[in-house]
Amino acid sequence: MTGTELAAAVVERCAEAARNLRETSGVTPCLATVLVGDDPASVTYVAMKRNRCARAGIESRHVALPADTTTEELVAAVRALSADPSVHGILLQHPVPEHIDERAAFEAIDPAKDVDGVTMWSFAAMAFGLPGFHACTPGGIVRLLDAYGIDPSGRHAVVVGRSPILGKPLGMLLLARDATVTYCHSRTVGLSDIIATADILVAAVGRPEFIKGADIKPGAVVIDAGYNPGNVGDVDFAGAAARARLITPVPGGVGPMTIALLLEQTVAAAVRQTATA
């Protein structure tokens, strides 16, 4: 299950919507990216997202803060962007340095501009089926399932990972599609036995090849949402591919969809804010 072509189609639609907004209202969608410190992986991710913005006709505004930035300083910077009418979406690159309260920084984002779906408001709206923005990776995964004709209804979905911006929201989205959802993590007792019952398996634990191919239920759909050094996912790809009906590669599976959803939600935020201005 590759996300590359699907993501390209989403970005193309974003570019068209951004162009229409510009022609009808003179407004260019703007995504503000905030990066604290100079972690090489984070710098690369932000640069990639800014490049994709340019392709989609989205303005990108970057705020680079030193590694010794305090929680209070980061919150102030995020609140300033939230109050800026020319900014339609805000992305705080995570993780932030350990001394910063990441949750406090996330909650400084105006929910109307939370195009990465990281605030508690966005999580609650998603869980209750209310208007709001999805966390981008979970939203991208659901879109990928739809594209490949995978209906979660009545299926047993096992999510290995409990991140508040990946595992937890994805489980809620699958539950909303009538899947029976089991949350697991690295400390789950009998994890292999639970994985073996999964019709849909999502690996989001952040450990290279943590899930072994021998544990995969024959015919299962495997979504590898992990990314580790060396382009390695959280699943033993070769072993799992021999048993799974469908499996996402790393890279080229979930990753492109994450960025595509970020751009789509940025344009949607700009359209909504322009309509209510």
Give the catalytic positions in this structure. Answer: 49, 93, 116
Distance (Å, rounded) from C-alpha 14 to C-alpha 268? 9
Residues 50 and 62: their CA atoms lie apart, in Å, by 8
Residue 50 phi, psi dihedral angles, 5° rounding: -70, -40
Contact at 8 Å (CB) between 259 and 7? yes
What does the DSSP assignment read for 71-126?
Answer: HHHHHHHHHHHHH-TT--EEEE-SSPPTTS-HHHHHHTS-GGG-TT--SHHHHHHH
Residue with tokens 């303005």: 59
CB neighbour list of residue 166: distance below 8 Å, 6 or more residues apart: 135, 137, 138, 204, 225
**Orientation of helix 167-176 relative to helix 120-127, angle to 10°:** 20
Pairwise CA distance, residues 248 & 229, whole Å: 17
For residue 10, give both structure tokens. 């989403």
Read off φ and ψ for residue 272, nearest 5 degrees. -65, -45
